[in-house]
Each structure stands twice: as C-alpha cells, then as structure tokens.
Amino acid sequence: MGEVGEAAALTAAGRACVGTLLDCLDFREGADAVPPLPKRKYPKARQGKRRSHLALKPTALTRCPQCRNMRLPHTACPTCGFYKRAEAVAIQRPKAAE
C-alpha cells in the first residue's frame, strides 16, 4: 500500500483512510464509537448550583402526643403504636419476669 499523503492513517482493519480522524472512525452499530462530549467546560459555580438540591436534609421528627417520644410525622409511633390519638398498631411488649 502506498502512502496517500500526510493525512493518511491506518485504520484497525488495515486500510488507508484519507481525511480527518472522524472520517476514519467506524460509527456502525456495535463498533467502538466515540461517546458524545460536552462542547464547553462546566464552571464549578454552575455545577454547584445544579447539585444544590442533592444535599441530604435532616429527618423531620415530631413528638408523639401519647408517649412524648420522637417519631416520624404522619406515621404510627413505634414506641406506643398510637396515631392521631387512637391505637393503630398493637405493640408487643416483653413480659416481665416474675
């Protein structure tokens, strides 16, 4: 194979390719394709603004009106089993040894 010019490159298949590197790449399905890349660099300030809502927030806890222990809002109390001043879940307590 003779040299075609300075822009000649040898592809993985062994054939000469003339032109840019993108002309030499094989974009068929299943071939090793180049993934899309961003055109510009993201500034760190914009990246931080974009991720501002991803921060972990502290868990909101409320006091149970029945036993005064902390519990998640709008759920039955894991300690006493009450929800909205009524027993919602029967809590099994360990029997006292006599």
3-state secondary structure of 48: helix
58-81 confidence digits (pLDDT tens): 999 999 988 999 999 999 998 888
pTM, entire model: 0.43
Q: How many CA atoms lie within 13 A of 88 on its CB side?
A: 13
Helix (H, G, I), strand (E, B) or coil at 83: strand
- Give the model confidence (pLDDT) of 1-21 as tens digits: 555 544 455 555 555 555 665
